[in-house]
Chain A
Amino acid sequence: MDIRKWKNMTDEQLIEAAKQNPDFFGGLYDRYFEQIYLFIFKRVQDEAVAGDVCQKAFMKAMANIGKYEDRGRPFTAWLYRIASNECNLYFRSKKKMMTVEIEDKHVKTVMLEIKIGDENDQSDQDKLMKVLSNLQPEYAEIVELRFFMQYSFKEIAEFYEISEASAKMRLYRILDRVKKTWEANS
């Protein structure tokens, strides 16, 4: 398939074409591989594993492109969901606890946002990590996306296929819960 043909096509055109001819999926793969690879890498923190999981995620996307419906959300939102599920499957298959390493500057940002503890105190930082580790995975995920993966609210909204306002509300509700747990533990 001639790559030059993909360049001028929109996502919607490529998706429709890929439903008829899988070769056109190459255009979407070419366009979004890097983005999805980095998303997976931030979770698995291993280049080779990220490559493998990324390939599996694209394989699933390619096999299910026929079921994809355009609901006005970006195509990447759909890809992110598949990639996220693939990461979870990877950790489940390895029977591994998903350990996420976070730079201390990001931890400080969360502490300042929720207004808890002393952001420079290492024991306070560790305590916050404990609270986050005990959160339900779906709650922890949104905190992770916003503060540790530096996603904008627009990107979070696309990820969950919700509006930006709902994304903000969801995050702040969870942060409120984190604060309450923190205070209860102090």
Chain B
Amino acid sequence: MRKYKVNRKEPVKMPSKETIEKYKDFPRLRHEYDSYVKRPKKPLYKDKKMFWFILLILLLTYLIVQSVNDKKEEEESNTKSGQTIDGDKSD
């Protein structure tokens, strides 16, 4: 919101050229720009959605690896038991 007031005193003095030059500082702006552009990005895990997504992927990977291992173990035990049965028969 704006509020307008009549200035019946002396008119507002405009800043002089020297004053304006005082605030004109391109090297500072350039420096601020560099730090703005190169600011460190937020790590992925600090993003809430990304955190849950990463966790879900890790969990799924763990479950897949686990089930693959279980299958392998099952197969190995099956072949072992098959071998012993065969051995018994030959005896």
Query: B19–A47 contact, CB under 8 A?
Result: yes
Q: Interface residue tally of chain B, by bracket? A: 20 to 34
Measured CB to CB, the closest approach of chain B to A78, in angstroms, equals: 17
Query: A133–B6 contact, CB under 8 A?
Result: no
The residues of B that contact A51 with a CB separation of less than 8 Å are 22-23
Known: A47-B19, A129-B6. A101 touches B29 (CB 8 A): no
A24-54 contacts to B, CB under 8 A, are 26, 29-30, 33-34, 37-38, 41, 45, 47, 50-51, 54
Query: A102–B23 contact, CB under 8 A?
Result: no
Q: How far is the CA of A104 from the CA of B37 in the complex (A)?
A: 46
Query: B30–A133 contact, CB under 8 A?
Result: no
User: Which residue on chain A has the smallest CB distance to residue B28?
Assistant: A55
User: Which residue on chain A has the smallest CB distance to residue B37?
Assistant: A63
**Cβ of B74 < 8 Å from any Cβ of A?**
no
Q: How far is the CA of A62 from the CA of B29 in the complex (A)?
A: 9
Q: Interface residue tally of chain A, by bracket? A: 35 or more
Query: A129–B5 contact, CB under 8 A?
Result: yes
Contact residues of A: prevailing secondary structure = helix
Measured CB to CB, the closest approach of chain B to A143, in angstroms, equals: 9
Q: Which 8 A-B pairs have the closest CB atoms?
A: A51-B23, A101-B7, A129-B4, A98-B2, A26-B26, A132-B4, A33-B24, A99-B3
The residues of B that contact A22 with a CB separation of less than 8 Å are 30, 33
Q: How far is the CA of A144 from the CA of B33 in the complex (A)?
A: 32
The residues of B that contact A132 with a CB separation of less than 8 Å are 2, 4
Query: B5–A101 contact, CB under 8 A?
Result: yes
**Interface stretch of the complex, out of B10-18, B41-49, B56-64, B83-91:** B10-18
The residues of A that contact B32 with a CB separation of less than 8 Å are 55, 59
Query: B6–A97 contact, CB under 8 A?
Result: no
User: Which residue on chain B has the smallest CB distance to residue A27?
Assistant: B26
A93-111 contacts to B, CB under 8 A, are 97-104, 107
The residues of A that contact B12 with a CB separation of less than 8 Å are 45, 101, 103
The residues of A that contact B7 with a CB separation of less than 8 Å are 101-104
